[in-house]
Amino acid sequence: MSEITLLAIETSCDETGVAVVRGGAGKVEVLAQQVASQMDIHAATGGVVPEVAAREHVTALQVMLPAVLREARVVGKDLSGIAVTVGPGLQPALAVGVNAARALAYAWQKPLVPVHHLEGHIYSALLRRAAVSSSKYQVSSKSLTPTYLLPATNYFPALALIVSGGHTQLILVRDHVTYEVVGTTRDDAAGEAFDKIARLLGLPYPGGPPLSQLARAGSATAFSFTRPMVDSGDFHFSFSGLKTAVLYAWRALSEADKDQRKADLAASFEQTVVDTLVTKTRQAAQAFSPRLLLLAGGVAANTKLREALSREASRLGMPLSIAPPALTGDNAAMIGQAGIFAYERGRQSTWRDIDASARLPITAWPRQ
C-alpha cells in the first residue's frame, strides 16, 4: 500500500493540536506538529470553561493549520485525509476542531478519519520512537523527523491504563483499532483528583505537576488513606471518596500545621492514587494475560506512577510501554498516529457524516 499522509486536529479539551503524519504498515513519521496550551488562561479560573476553550481553539487553529502544513511541506492535495478527534471531550471545544476538519475536507475533497481521543493516547504508547542514526555524518534534517514503529514482537492483546484529567480507564486492545473497556472511573478521573487536591492545597492549575513536586518533600506514609475499590472484584476506579478523605484530613490540621504538613498530605495522596492504579492494573493483567502493558495520558507524566508500574510489570513478567514524555499530554501527533491505523482499516467518512460527540464510546466503530 502506498504511504498515507494525514493532517490531524485535536481540540477536545484545553490544548489545540495540529500535526501532519505520514506512514502505514506499522510505521508513522510525524512530519510536523504543534501544540498550543491554554493552561495560563484556565489557571485564572482554576479549571477549563468550555466556551473559553472553544474560542481559544478557533484563534489557535487559524495560526497553526497553515504553519504546520508549511513546516511539513504538504498542501491539501498531498493529503490522503484529515484525522480529527470527534470525542469524548468538551462539546464546544470538540466542535471547533471537527468543523475545521469538515470545512477542509469539503474544500479539498478528502475523506475524514474520525478518531476517539483515547485511541490517540493508546497509540502514543504502543508506537515507539525509532532510534535516529548515531553517525554524525549521516544526520540530515530528514533523518531527524521522528519516526514511530510498532513493537517488534507480538503485542496483542495489550492492556492500556489511560490516566488523564478527563479519564481513568483500563482498555483491552484486542487488535488494531479494536477495543474493550474493562475498567473505568465511577466518578472523578485520576488527573481531576490531582487537580482538585492541588487546588485545596493552594497550588496552581493544572495541579498534577506542582502536587507531585511538593510531594517530594513529604512522607508518603504520614497519612493513611484507604485505597479505593481495590477489593471491589472488578477493574473500576473511584477517586471522589479519597478526595473527601484528604479534605477532612486537611481541615483537621491546625493553621500552624498546615504549612508543615502540606507536603506529607500531598505525598500520601499521590501514593494512594499510584497504589490504586497499579493494583487495579495488576488485577486486570492477571485476568486478561495481555502480551503488553501500556501507560498513557497526562498523568503518565507522573514519575512515581511510571516507576511503580514499571516495577509491577517486571514482577508480572510483562513488557510495559509508556508514552514518550512529549506525547503524554494532549496533542495531534497521537491522533494522526491512531488515524493512520484507522484509515488503513477503512475508517473514512465524508464531511457530511461526522460530528463532535462529547460522550463518544471507544467502541463507536465496529471492526470492519
Alpha carbon of 149 to those of 11, 152, 156, 177, 348: distances in Å? Answer: 25, 8, 15, 16, 23
Establish whether the linkage from the previous residue to 157 is cis, with ω within 30° of 0.
yes
Q: Which residue has the cell 500500500?
A: 1
CB of 93 to ligand KG4, least distance (A): 11
Of 32 and 211, the one with the shorter C-beta distance to ligand KG4 is: 211
CB of 303 to ligand KG4, least distance (A): 7
339 within 8 A of 313, measured Cβ to Cβ: no
Smallest distance, ligand KG4 to C-beta of residue 165, A: 3
* Candidates 150-158, 159-167, 248-256, 316-324; binding stretch for Zn ion (CB under 5 A): 159-167
The mark string for 102-131 relative to Zn ion (x by CB under 5 A, - otherwise) is: ------------------------------
Q: How far is the CB of 231 from Zn ion (least distance, A)?
A: 29
As a whole number of angstroms, the distance between CA 131 and CA 129 comes to 6
Between the alpha carbon of residue 272 and those of residues 194, 203, 240, 276, 350, the distances in Å are: 11, 19, 13, 6, 46
Contact call for residue 119 and ligand KG4 (CB under 6 A):
no
* Residue placing its CB nearer to ligand KG4 in the complex, 194 or 225: 194
Q: Contact between 301 and ligand KG4 (CB under 6 A)?
A: yes
* Residue 23 or 88 with smaller CB distance to Zn ion: 88
Does 297 bind ligand KG4 (CB under 6 A)? Our answer is yes
Assign 83 to helix, strand or coil: strand
Minimum CB distance to ligand KG4 smaller for 15 or for 344: 15
Are residues 82 and 91 in contact, defined by beta-carbon separation less than 8 angstroms? no
Rounded to the nearest 5°, which phi and psi values hold at 8?
A: -125, 140
Positions touching ligand KG4 (CB under 6 A) are 13, 164-166, 191-192, 194-195, 206-209, 212, 297-299, 301-302, 329-330
Positions touching Zn ion (CB under 5 A) are 164, 330
